[in-house]
């Protein structure tokens, strides 16, 4: 291929990539909508969109010709890129960062004392903190857990750099089904609404008539159980 041919080929590739990016923009909008309650207070939509677009472009280049499995692959990569940026910025308020270990230890102590998972009211009263501080803590912890779980879910795909084989796809689905079966009913509903129906945490809270902090708590517990079942603890 001479220089002129290479230039034409490069131009065609650029046009094809632009067309594919436009075609898959609805996927990015779905990701942005779902993560808005967790990330929107730190990154504005334009920043999130830019991060997501770069991840989408990288997905297209790594994956090859998109097929039925591409949607899941790309959404994991876009979510992961945005959550990675959230972690990189260490966005948690200073008060939450400073008191996170104390809050975590106190929650363990309360759990042992009460013989059950402490409610938001139990925790706020027992730790003598504000409801907002507790909710900030829950949101920060949940973002960390979500990011690490997304890493685990996409690990095999990232290693291969493209679509998983049919055999690995079946194995992964069976592993996820077994991990889900170890959750209680409320945990299963939260995971299903978040990952299958793509509701955000605020919407899940409304559906289940719970506080957003309580949904964070349930989601975090469910993901930790699944990580153990999937061997990613």
Measuring CA to CA, which residue among 193, 196, 143, 189 is closest to residue 37?
143
DSSP-assigned letter for residue 230: T
DSSP structural state of residue 232: -
How many angstroms separate the CA atoms of 34 and 18, rounded? 24
The predicted-structure confidence for 113-134, as pLDDT tens digits, reads as follows: 888 878 888 888 888 888 887 7
Q: Per-residue b/e over 14-32, b at no fewer than 16 CB within 10 Å? A: eeeeeebeeebeebbeebb
The structure's pTM equals: 0.60
- Name the residue with tokens 């280049």: 61
Domains in the chain and their CATH numbers?
1-91 (1.10.1740.10)
Residue 53: the pLDDT is: 93
Q: What is the pLDDT of residues 141-190, one digit of tens each?
A: 766 667 667 766 665 444 444 555 444 554 556 677 788 888 999 999 99
Residue 43 sits at φ, ψ, to 5 deg, of -110, 130
């Amino acid at each position: 291929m001479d220089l002129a041919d290479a230039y034409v080929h490069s131009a065609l590739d650029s046009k094809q990539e632009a067309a594919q990016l436009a075609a898959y923009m609805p996927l990015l909008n779905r990701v942005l909508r779902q993560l808005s309650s967790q990330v929107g207070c730190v990154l504005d939509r334009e920043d999130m969109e830019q991060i997501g677009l770069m991840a989408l472009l990288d997905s297209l280049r790594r994956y090859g010709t998109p097929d039925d499995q591409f949607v899941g692959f790309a959404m994991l990569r876009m979510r992961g890129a945005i959550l990675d940026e959230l972690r990189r910025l260490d966005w948690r308020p200073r008060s939450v960062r400073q008191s996170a270990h104390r809050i975590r230890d106190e929650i363990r102590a309360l759990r042992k004392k009460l013989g059950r998972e402490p409610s938001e009211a139990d925790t706020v009263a027992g730790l003598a903190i504000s409801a907002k501080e507790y909710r900030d803590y829950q949101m920060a912890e949940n973002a960390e857990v979500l990011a690490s779980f997304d890493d685990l879910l996409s690990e095999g795909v990232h290693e291969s750099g493209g679509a998983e084989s049919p055999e690995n796809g079946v194995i992964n689905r069976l592993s996820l089904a077994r991990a889900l079966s170890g959750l209680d009913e409320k945990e299963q509903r939260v995971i299903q609404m978040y990952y299958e129906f793509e509701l955000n945490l605020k919407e899940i809270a409304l559906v289940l008539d719970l506080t957003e902090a309580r949904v964070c708590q349930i989601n975090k517990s469910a993901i930790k159980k699944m990580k153990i079942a999937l061997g990613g603890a």
